[in-house]
Amino acid sequence: MSGLELKIPPPVMAATTALLLYSGDRLSPQPWRVEVSPWLIGLTVMIALLVGAAAVAHFFRAGTTVHPHCPEKSEVLVARGIYRYSRNPMYLSLLLILIAWSMHLGWVGAPLLWALFVVWITRFQIRPEERILAQLFGDDYRAYCNRVRRWL
């Protein structure tokens, strides 16, 4: 286990990435920007909010924790609803918010930071959670992992 595993909450990492996106946009020359339709930005935000809200609602209905530092407190394996399509819809919703923010900014360097966000969250949040959930839920969790992708 690495010292950074499960230490920085994903919303904090998303906020940090958003600040880096803003900084990159402000420091880049004008030709490094693109225009994106406000409708597309709005649609992306709506999808992100719906995915995130559905994910949290399923956890609350199941009576299990949404706290990213304590996956060992999970009491139920949630595998229905939005969780049939993504094992990590809460993190997916954060990524979609970052993508929408990037579209608003119009900075062409944004995909590099999206990739870094995905790598960071996968390495220091998702994989440690997966180890703990495999210990808690055993074969049921492993079968779920075989059926459903990590991100989408």
For residues 62 and 49, give the distance between their C-alpha atoms in angstroms, rounded to a whole number.
20
Question: What is the biggest distance separating any 2 CA atoms in the chain, rounded to whole angstroms?
Answer: 53
For 137, the token pair is 């839920």
> pTM for this structure?
0.96
For residues 13 and 55, give the distance between their C-alpha atoms in angstroms, rounded to a whole number.
19
For residues 150 and 148, give the distance between their C-alpha atoms in angstroms, rounded to a whole number.
7
SS3 content of the chain, % helix, strand, coil (to 5): 70, 0, 30
DSSP-assigned letter for residue 76: S
Q: Return per-residue pLDDT of the chain as tens, 152 residues.
A: 679 999 999 999 999 999 999 999 999 887 778 899 999 999 999 999 999 999 999 999 999 989 888 899 999 999 999 999 999 999 999 999 999 999 999 999 999 999 999 999 999 999 999 999 999 999 999 999 999 999 99
Q: How many residues does the chain have?
A: 152
